[in-house]
Amino acid sequence: MREKLASFFQPLKQRALRLLQSIIKRIAREKLQKHKQLWQTLTDYQTKTKATGCSYSDYWELYNSVRSRKPKEILECGPGVSTVLMAYALMENDKEGYHGKITAVEELEPYYKMAIELLPEYLNPYVEFVLSPRIEDHYSLFRGVRYRDVPDRPYDFVFVDGPDFVAPSDGALTFDLDYIHVVKNSEKPVYGIIDCRLSTVYVLQAVFGLDKVKYSPVHVLGFVGPCTKDDLTPLKLETIMNAVRRNANFFGNTEIKLR
């Protein structure tokens, strides 16, 4: 009976989710259009670029996050239209006395060159582009990928929209390790937004916990932080055993929830 009810309501949930997503995108678009110079810059860029980019709800969340949090050092994993949105927000922050900069890292040379070429000249002071290959790395028992040549800077905000999250060695699905790599080397709290990378959100929730890593199916984004290196506690056998005891189901399957 429970399975029949679930199968009945599942299509309704999917339709409701798609409706909410369309409403959120429309509201975000309207908010962006109110910023006339930003909207003009955004639409000009979109007509020139071949990249699909993010949705308008993503653009608004990025712009609003940078405006409200006033980050000093942003690591952008995968430049594109998002670079324009965040750089414009940094320009506005700068006028209010809050200087910030984006380090935009790309692994594919054609997209790297295009990002440099298409960025509006007046936003150049707020962005440094870096070309870097993707390498495999790990944290605890999780295998992931990250950019190799990320400059060592005190990042306090990370946007993850790259690199490709399959392992170069065997093509296996992994996750993006750049956020963890930043937090591991940071002396201050780090916020992050993860775009359309469910494996990355999954691992970050396992590492930092649900209170630090939230996924919104309406926005199709993961919101992370603030996290510090004190939150990075390598998994131990005792932790897994405690998870088993905490969630023990004596008469059926026990789900091992690490957090």
Cα dist from 74 to 55, 97, 162, whole Å? 20, 17, 14
Q: How far apart are CA 104 and CA 112, in angstroms?
A: 9
Sort strands 190-195 and 221-227 into parallel, antiparallel or unpaired. antiparallel
Q: How far apart are CA 104 and CA 245, in angstroms?
A: 44
At 56 the pLDDT is 87
DSSP code, position 211: T
CATH topology of domain 16-234: Rossmann fold (3.40.50)
C-alpha of 8 from chain center = 33
Mean pLDDT, residues 14-23 taken together: 86
Cβ-contact 205, 217 below 8 angstroms: no
Q: How far apart are CA 1 and CA 21, in angstroms?
A: 30
DSSP code, position 249: -
pTM of the predicted model as reported, rounded to 2 decimal places? 0.86
Summarize pLDDT for 48-72 with one digit per residue, the tens: 876 555 688 889 999 999 999 999 9
CA dihedral 170, 171, 174, 175 (to 10 degrees): 120
Contacts with 172 (C-beta within 8 Å, 6 or more apart), sequence order: 143, 166
Better-scored residue on pLDDT, 10 or 183: 183
Of 155, 141, 32, 162, the closest CA to residue 89 belongs to 32
Cβ-contact 161, 102 below 8 angstroms: no
C-alpha of 229 from chain center = 18
At 244 the pLDDT is 66
pLDDT at 12 over 90: no
Summarize pLDDT for 122-161 with one digit per residue, the tens: 999 999 999 999 999 999 889 999 999 999 999 999 999 9
Mean pLDDT, residues 95-117 taken together: 96
